Structure 1
Amino acid sequence: MVHSSGIGVYLKQLIPFLLSSFQVTVLGKPEELNGLAWAPSVQVIPMEADIYSIKEQVELVSKIPSCDIFWSPQYNVPLLPIRAKKRLVTIHDTYHLAYRHTLPLAHKLYATAVMKAAVRLADQVITVSHFSKTEIAKYTNCPLEKISVIYNGVDNVRFKADFPEKASKQLREALPQLPEKYLLYVGNVKPHKNLITLLKAYASLNPALQAEYHLVIVGQKQGFITPDQEVFQFLEQHPSLALKVDFTGFVADALLPFLYKCASLSVFPSVYEGFGLPPLESMACGCPVVASSSASIPEVCGGAALYFRALDAEELRIQLENVLTDERLRADLVKKGLKQSKEFTWEKSAAQHLSVLKELLPKG
């Protein structure tokens, strides 16, 4: 899952910190590690199965070697016995349980059974917010003392406000279709990401502002188990609006900081998140953030974002217009955002992960 959206970032950032204390073996496709600086320092056991598949379960049991700790970075844990003395699992959120009514029956049954098994089989559970800790306990009956909350971090080397002037030029050359002024959404097109509310708010934006600012959507558009069809239906019904909404699709990691930096504001409208990295990355790049007040988002963004109720498109429209027309408000959000983003570092996160891992090691 090293290239799987937020979980991929989690893995890419944390694995290097483990190498000084552990001999690390990873399961995956060796070619997917090409270009990662730490790849030569880990052993790789090839895995060909798709995640969340029966074939994956068979491969996990046969390929996991004898080890002190087996760490699953997502809830798709091996369900059968494995050759590990201890098990650790990270569960980022319980969306598949909280919103199980939105899933096809097979996926609903899989998510319910496997997530409950994940907490039962694990010696310790890591999650990424106190909100998610409460949700895990609620939906799986996991004892609270078994769950460690460790926040994600922001890569403050990549995401920063002081890019050289040529950075903007490099971005325009790499993405020539990028509009001059834009509102930015970073995330996948899934129902719980609530992109439909953002589109409705943008559609009702003051006409002069809508003429001045495009809406740029960065992230995977297709290929999901539960895609957000309502988004595409809405755009089909509003063809003039669709001309102002730009889907970039996948964007190279190197370009993302520049996209934040050049945006007039960043919007995070999710109804359900275990953590949510895009708002913090935006803040670190000096981009003001408008975010929903749902789930873990206020826990992560603190007082550095301008909030709206997740399903209230009119309230979101008002907040967008407030940021776009009030320079003092923008400056205040940027200042608070830079400070808030510095509270979350991968170094701090890694130290806490290492502490949990070392506690699991056999004593003596």
Structure 2
Amino acid sequence: MVNIGIDCRLASSPTGLGRYTREIVSELVLLDSGVKWTLFVNESIDWIPKSEFISNIVTTNIPHYSLSEQIKFPRIIKKQNLDLLFVPHFNVPLNCPVPFVATVHDLILHSYPNQSSLIKRLAYKKLLLSTVRKSKSLIAVSKYTADEIEKAYGSEAFKKTTVVSEAVNPIFKKQSEEDSKSILKKYGIDKPFFMYIGNAKEHKNVNTLIQAFADAKIKDTELVLILSGPEAEKLKSPAEVKKIKNVADSDLPHIYSQARAFVTASLYEGFCLPILEARSCGCPVIASNSTAIKELGAPGVLLVEPNIAAFAEAFKNFVAPDFVEPSNRLWKDVALETQSILLQANQVQ
């Protein structure tokens, strides 16, 4: 039996990284592959998957990107006698005591360095460089991210990088208008609407959506922004733009299903999971033709330039397509591909 550890501390996060961690780990631990899994989780977590192949759950209280992550976490890892560690993000301790595989979702601070302080940027660059150099293998969630890794770290890093794209949870499927009424009422959505979900950081370009929607002047229609993160509070929005926080995952399929379209003017994405979620709920998509988003094009997805004029025109002239192609990729598929990378990395030590 191979003993593989997984850093699950991000599973408690409401972000896309948290969802990726929960989804992939939930499927990995169900695979009968001759692996015993050791999970490292936060004390506060209310999610722990069940499987006969989980041999140990190690509870920690170590924040991400912290000094204790660099000092205490390696000691905890060492005690578990692991053959390999899988980290679903780039934040592998500099002195990780065991071989490891890491997932790189994006290189956002390479393109938008001002989103963090100088100290955080320096720590990010040192940590990511260490992870790229020392990893047995790297997983990139898109071809775009893999190409970014090659551009930043060279051909050797690219050679050990495998693209494993993300997937959609089965809860994301078309919901009827009748079944969705109470959900829309719960969030005060009472008009036809376009929707966005995500944070409001600089690269998300949310102000472009707001201004474009205002310029389009669409009667009796609103733009619903489902927002996370502190940047949301700084957004100024007109009356026809509704800001919502803390939407339950179970409610999202209903909101996607009744939206006229999911919209994003993002300037940088390592993937863009909401596009797949929207498509799987039969929701059309209007998205910027940038970075990894271009890899998610399909019937029902309109790609436009990420500027106010282009999005205003897309809003104003929007006609629901006859067909929106759902995503058929499952998280089990992601887990199988990831498992293959982990087992191969263990063999080449």
TM over 0.5: yes
Matched, 1:132 2:135: no
Secondary structure of the structure 1 residue equivalent to 2:196: strand
Query: Of the candidates 248, 263, 268, which is equivalent to residue 272 of structure 1?
Result: 268
Q: What CA RMSD, in Å, does the superposition of the two structures yield over aligned residues?
A: 2.1
1:354 and 1:102 map into 2 onto residues whose CA distance is 34
Contact 1:217 1:247 in 2 (8 A): yes
2:50 and 2:247 map into 1 onto residues whose CA distance is 22
Query: Of the candidates 197, 212, 215, which is equivalent to residue 220 of structure 2?
Result: 212
Query: Of the candidates 6, 11, 27, which is equivalent to residue 2 of structure 1?
Result: 11
Secondary structure of the structure 2 residue equivalent to 1:46: strand
Aligned-residue offset at 1:197: 0.8
Contact 2:149 2:157 in 1 (8 A): no
Query: Of the candidates 264, 275, 281, which is equivalent to residue 277 of structure 2?
Result: 281
Matched, 1:263 2:259: yes
Q: What TM-score do you get using the length of structure 1 for normalisation?
A: 0.85
> What's the counterpart of residue 127 of structure 2?
114
Query: Of the candidates 334, 344, 348, which is equivalent to residue 359 of structure 1?
Result: 344
Aligned-residue offset at 1:143: 2.8
> What's the counterpart of residue 185 of structure 1?
196
Contact 1:128 1:149 in 2 (8 A): yes
Q: What TM-score do you get using the length of structure 2 for normalisation?
A: 0.88
Query: Of the candidates 313, 320, 332, which is equivalent to residue 318 of structure 1?
Result: 313
Matches within 5 A, 1:46-125: 46-64=59-77, 65-82=80-97, 84=98, 86-125=99-138
Gapped regions of structure 1 (runs ≥ 5): 236-240
> What's the counterpart of residue 27 of structure 2?
17
Gapped regions of structure 2 (runs ≥ 5): 1-9
Aligned-residue offset at 1:52: 0.9
Aligned-residue offset at 1:307: 1.4
Contact 2:289 2:304 in 1 (8 A): yes
- Letter aligned with residue 241 of structure 2: V
- Letter aligned with residue 284 of structure 2: P
Contact 1:191 1:228 in 2 (8 A): no
Instruction: Write the deviation string for residues 286-311 of structure 1: whole angstroms up to 9, x where unpaired.
Output: 1110000010001122454111112x
Matched, 1:298 2:294: yes
Aligned-residue offset at 1:75: 0.8
Contact 1:260 1:266 in 2 (8 A): yes
Percent identity (aligned): 27
Matches within 5 A, 1:229-244: 232=235, 234-235=236-237, 241=238, 243-244=239-240
Contact 1:307 1:319 in 2 (8 A): no
Contact 1:129 1:149 in 2 (8 A): yes
2:283 and 2:344 map into 1 onto residues whose CA distance is 39
